[in-house]
A and B are shown apart, each in its own frame.
Chain A
């Protein structure tokens, strides 16, 4: 199995209507990004964080992944959007093929989105950085148009 693209989890869309998630930078939930090897097979049907196929702890990366810094949701035209600050793991030896962003504040660690890196990304005793796109209506990491 392998990553097969970026997905917004279907369960997340439902949970938006149930007020499970709060992306505000102040007082919002804690969202985490966990890294996975090529055996992970996440899709839109993924519902929660799992440690199965997660990369091993190394440097500043530990099980469960790193906490993201929320960017308070905004809108542009008719599109609502939110994003996160870039995330780095230092002194880390990691090979990852993709990631899962999930809400670690909510019961059951519900998943938000699946990210496919498009191939193996490797750091060796170095820094592994995930750079989020520009937070606008065309590029933001999470958009509802």
Chain B
């Protein structure tokens, strides 16, 4: 007779926090890359190395566009502040 146990399992989360600010693109990048490309610990070394190099290249591109998204959003906020008559607040955005 075969018996096959059905085992429900719960994974573990990681909590990351900031103090008096939000996360920077550099801090968010590992979260994004872990969702895009996962390289298993048991992968063949040659495949693992190639995957890690590819992950690094993709990371550079993602990071560039994350910075660009922040820059563009701040430009939009700056124009809204100017339109509302608060140009002095634009300096806070450090564009």
Listed in ascending order, the chain A residues whose CB lies under 8 Å from chain B are 6-8, 13, 83, 86, 90, 94, 96, 99, 113-115, 117, 121-134, 136, 139-145
Contact = CB atoms under 8 A, between A and B. Distances in A.
B12 A123 contact: no
Interface of B: 6-23, 31, 34, 38, 40
Given A126-B22, A134-B38, A142 B13 contact: no
Given A125-B19, A134-B34, 14 more contacts: A13-B8, A83-B11, A96-B15, A126-B17, A126-B21, A127-B17, A129-B23, A131-B31, A133-B11, A133-B12, A133-B13, A136-B38, A136-B40, A144-B9
Nearest to A123: B17
Given A90-B22, A131-B31, A134-B38, A122 B11 contact: no
Contacts of B17: 94, 121-123, 126-129
Contacts of B31: 86, 129, 131
Contact of A7 (B7, B10, B14, B23): B10
Nearest to A121: B15
A80 to B, nearest CB: 10
A-B interface, 8 closest residue pairs, ranked by CB to CB distance from nearest: A126-B18, A123-B17, A121-B15, A141-B11, A133-B11, A131-B14, A6-B10, A143-B9
